[in-house]
Amino acid sequence: MDCREAQPLFDAYLDRELEAGLSASVAEHVDSCPNCSAIVQRSGALGAAARDLRQTVSPVFRDRVRSALRDVDESRQTRTLRFWRTGAIAASLLACAAISLSVLSQRHEQFALADQIVAAHVRSLMADHLVDVRSSNQHTVKPWFTGRVDFTADVRDFADEGFTLVGGRLDYIDHHPAIALVYQHDKHTINAFTWPGDIPRAIETVNGFHIKQWSDAGMSWCLVSDAGAPALQQLHELIEEKSLTSTPAK
């Protein structure tokens, strides 16, 4: 056995972990090789010193070392737990912020739409442009919109219920061409806007005007007037009861 073969076995040789034949071969080489003999002697001395140190260290000192190591491990676990807890809280806050922004954005869109509806209603009263086609006859009003918009409205008169059809006009609501059906209720004018799309069901009051909005069969509906919420609710029920629905043109 030469040095290259023997040196990797020195630790096992010193710890008496080699089988008898191999241990004898290592011992024979160490006895004949001054360099390897010195290595084995140094390794043996270090091992003996370590054993002596373990024997001379007091139990109290060992307990303190073990306690310190436990504290270090617990501190590391605490920091890890704190890190994940902080991350979870931050993620929750971000989620809440995102939801709040989404809700605020939806409310902003609703307010913006309500402002458009009221502005269109007021313009129709101020600019002498209440109707493009004036008639209480649904068979006169409905055909007028053909070719002017890509959807149709089932126009009806509710004079017997207190809502007289005055006529209709073209308008532009929520970035869409819209049909405005105009009704007279007592001394109040009601604009009934309809266009393709979906809007949330809601009732608003903007600058003294009441707004009733909903969606039906892929169409948006919005009533606006100073007649008051009960009148708009009644007209809304008549529209749904009488199947006053608008559908995209085929």
| Predicted pLDDT at 99 | 56
| Predicted pLDDT at 163 | 96
Cα torsion at 198, 212, 153, 163 (round to 10°)? 170
| Predicted pLDDT at 244 | 44
3-state secondary structure 133-152: EECCCHHHHHHHCECCECEE
| Predicted pLDDT at 204 | 79
Q: Which residues of the chain have pLDDT under 50?
A: 101-106, 108, 244-247, 249-250
Q: Residue for token digits 């209709």? A: 168
Contact 221, 192 (CB under 8 A): yes
| Predicted pLDDT at 184 | 95
**Domains detected in the chain:** 3-56 (no CATH), 119-248 (3.30.200.100)
The residues near 182 (Cβ < 8 Å, ≥ 6 apart) are 124, 130, 131, 165, 166, 167, 168, 169, 189, 190, 191, 192
| Predicted pLDDT at 245 | 45
Side-chain half-sphere CA neighbours of 45 within 13 A: 6
| Predicted pLDDT at 105 | 46
| Predicted pLDDT at 250 | 45
Q: Is the pTM of this model over 0.95?
A: no
